[in-house]
Amino acid sequence: MTLNLATILRETTARQPSEAAIRIGDVAMSYTELHGLAQRFAGGLRGLGIGRGRHVALMLPNVPHFSIAYFGAHYAAAPVVPLNVLLTPDEIAYHLEDSDAVALVVWEGFYEQARAAFERVESCAHLIVAKADRGDLTAPEGAQNMSALIADAEPVLDLPDTMPDDTAVILYTSGTTGRPKGAELTHFNLFYNADYVAHRLLAGPKKTALCVLPLFHSFGQTVIQNATLRGGGTLVLMPRFEPEAAFELMQKHRVNLFAGVPTMYFALLHHPNADAYDLSSLSYCLSGGAAMPVEVMKAFDEKYGVNILEGYGLSETSPVASFNVADRPKKPGSIGIPIDGVEFRLEADDGTILAESGQPGEIAIKGHNVMKGYYKRPEVNLRQIVDGWFKTGDIATRDDDGYYFIVDRKKDMIIRGGYNVYPREIEEVLYAHPAVAEAAVIGVPHDSHGEEVKAVLALKEGATATPEEIIAYCKEHLAAYKYPRLVEIRDALPKGPTGKILKRELRAS
């Protein structure tokens, strides 16, 4: 049996060739056009000698060129290496070298840093520039224009006979514990994950999805791009999240699916002009990437008449591993139940399997969504994947109904005076404070306690609160060993490309 991820685009195009696959600004691209451009891009890659098993890196924001290059590379049997568009030249060079990429496709706005990295990596032979104007076929010296490459190419009409366990995408982890590692995801990993989202999690009418999550990130790539196209929907591309622009697009295109990280929901919920827009079309809302504060979820559900479903996953799990689902009761604060065909178990530090409800342990995952392993990291794979069980590093509890609740990242757990303190619990209390807009809790070194609990906050516009008031508030709601003794108030908290708060930067500052 063969399988190729581009089957998603090929089959939907056959069913509905003239319907819109992508919208950006006032431009719509049909399934036929998207599919044809992907096939021609595959031909362009083959013309460069890039084919089966040769890795192609993509440094593209949420523009049609990403989907064209993504599916086009699969038509050429070339695994894709998506890169964060905000990487520095040093970081780009590391990713190109580590992934053994032979080509880099870069958006014109990020060309300079990409060029600086490309020139340092001898194994990467081709620099391809994507431009907003498809009629502009020029390219800097030593680079190639993506549109010109497509225009001159013969399309690859047949899907290659890749196998289900062949590598389709190498997704790099965020690097919170050392240098980033590339998770090798197979055609089957990614195809089945997208199919689950399209036909089980989001069953029902075709979706018009606002695509604001970065496509180079696993959440945006699988849950928005691949699942929406698998279900015959339309992607409304938004290269950069801005609350008012998101409102405008949702109203204009009658968007019925929004997926985001908690900071996006908070920004939409509290935007001063929110009530000026008609979001009555919005029916499906998904949250992931970070823990959704219960107070934010409840307030958003009530304001917009939706039912935000929170899930959980990692780059290493394609990424969807568990979700609250529409046909079972939602439990705010829970990441839901494992998706079909996936198993969870909780393990103690010594590897003992925890069977009783309420016991915190590290989540281990087994199933069709688990990666082949980290690229060129055999020693790490032996530690992280044992008998098919992937050790996530996330601490959770399970209730009597089989729902899982993230307590925290194992590495984020604070040990204060011998007591385990989980930042997630404290952050929930902080988000319930009327003045708090953003909150993150970290451990800082302490001479006698080992670690002390510190809260870093940003306040809502116009709100006031002192560190002393915040500490007193937490003291009322938390046990003595848990409440933060240190509180820092900032204008904003550092965030990654998906809007996730970066605790590693808070620890470093």
Span 128-180, pLDDT tens digits: 999 998 888 999 999 999 999 999 999 999 999 999 999 999 999 865 445 78
User: How far is 9 from 235, CA to CA, in rounded Å?
Assistant: 13
| Beta strand extents in 208-341 (DSSP E only) | 208-211, 234-237, 257-260, 284-287, 309-313, 320-323, 337-338
User: How far is 420 from 416, CA to CA, in rounded Å?
Assistant: 7
Place of tokens 């006698």: 448
Say whether pLDDT at 237 is over 60.
yes
Mean pLDDT of 350-360: 93
Place of tokens 């399309």: 155
Task: Identify the band that residue 424 occupies on the pLDDT scale cut at 50, 70 and 90.
Answer: confident
Question: Which of 220, 227, 248, 224 lies closest to 26 in space, CA to CA?
Answer: 248
User: How far is 349 from 333, CA to CA, in rounded Å?
Assistant: 24
Indicate the angle between helix axes 7-15 and 31-47, nearest 10 degrees: 140
What was the pLDDT predicted at 74?
98
Say whether pLDDT at 233 is over 50.
yes
Q: What percent of the chain has pLDDT over 70?
A: 99
pTM for the full model? 0.86
User: Angle at Cα 88 formed by Cα 85 and Cα 92, nearest 5°?
Assistant: 75
pLDDT tens digit sequence for 252-285: 999 999 999 888 998 999 999 999 999 999 999 9
Does residue 142 contact residue 127 with C-beta atoms inside 8 Å? yes
Task: Identify the band that residue 415 occupies on the pLDDT scale cut at 50, 70 and 90.
Answer: confident
Least confident of 81-90, 177-186, 292-301: 177-186
Structural domains for the chain: 20-187 (3.40.50.980), 413-508 (3.30.300.30)
Q: How many residues does the chain have?
A: 509
What was the pLDDT predicted at 370?
98
What was the pLDDT predicted at 162?
98
Mean pLDDT of 368-388: 96
Say whether pLDDT at 408 is over 80.
no
Q: Could you tell me which residues are beta bridge partners of residue 439?
A: 457
Q: What is the largest CA-CA distance in the chain?
A: 70
Peptide bond preceding 319 in cis form (omega within 30 of 0): yes
What was the pLDDT predicted at 176?
44
User: How far is 113 from 324, CA to CA, in rounded Å?
Assistant: 40
User: How far is 194 from 223, CA to CA, in rounded Å?
Assistant: 6
Task: Identify the band that residue 422 occupies on the pLDDT scale cut at 50, 70 and 90.
Answer: confident
Q: How many CA atoms lie within 13 A of 68 on its CB side?
A: 29
Question: Which of 78, 69, 141, 81 lies closest to 107 in space, CA to CA?
Answer: 69
Least confident of 34-48, 149-163, 418-432: 418-432
292-301: burial string, b at 16+ Cβ within 10 Å, e else: bbbbbbeebb
Alpha-helical runs (H) found in 287-436: 294-304, 378-384, 423-431
Say whether pLDDT at 489 is over 70.
yes
Peptide bond preceding 180 in cis form (omega within 30 of 0): no
Does residue 213 contact residue 263 with C-beta atoms inside 8 Å? no
Mean pLDDT of 310-338: 95
What was the pLDDT predicted at 174?
63
Indicate the angle between helix axes 89-99 and 111-118, nearest 10 degrees: 50
What was the pLDDT predicted at 467?
96
User: What's the whole-number average pLDDT of the chain?
Assistant: 94
Does residue 58 contact residue 70 with C-beta atoms inside 8 Å? yes
Least confident of 108-122, 188-202, 285-299: 285-299
User: How far is 170 from 73, CA to CA, in rounded Å?
Assistant: 13
Mean pLDDT of 419-440: 89
Q: Could you tell me which residues are beta bridge partners of residue 501?
A: 495
What was the pLDDT predicted at 277?
97
Say whether pLDDT at 314 is over 70.
yes
Q: DSSP letter string over 38-51?
A: HHHHHHHHHHTT--
For residue 390, give the 3-state DSSP assignment. strand
What was the pLDDT predicted at 67?
98
Structure tokens, 23: 């919208």
What is the SS3 assignment for 238-251? CCCCCHHHHHHHHH
Structure tokens, 416: 């204060």
Secondary structure element (H or E) that encloses residue 367, with its range? strand 361-367
Place of tokens 């993150």: 440
Indicate the angle between helix axes 64-75 and 31-47, nearest 10 degrees: 60
Neighbour count for residue 496 (Cβ, 10 Å): 19
Q: Which residue has the higher pLDDT, 55 or 477?
A: 55
Q: Which residue has the higher pLDDT, 369 or 425?
A: 369
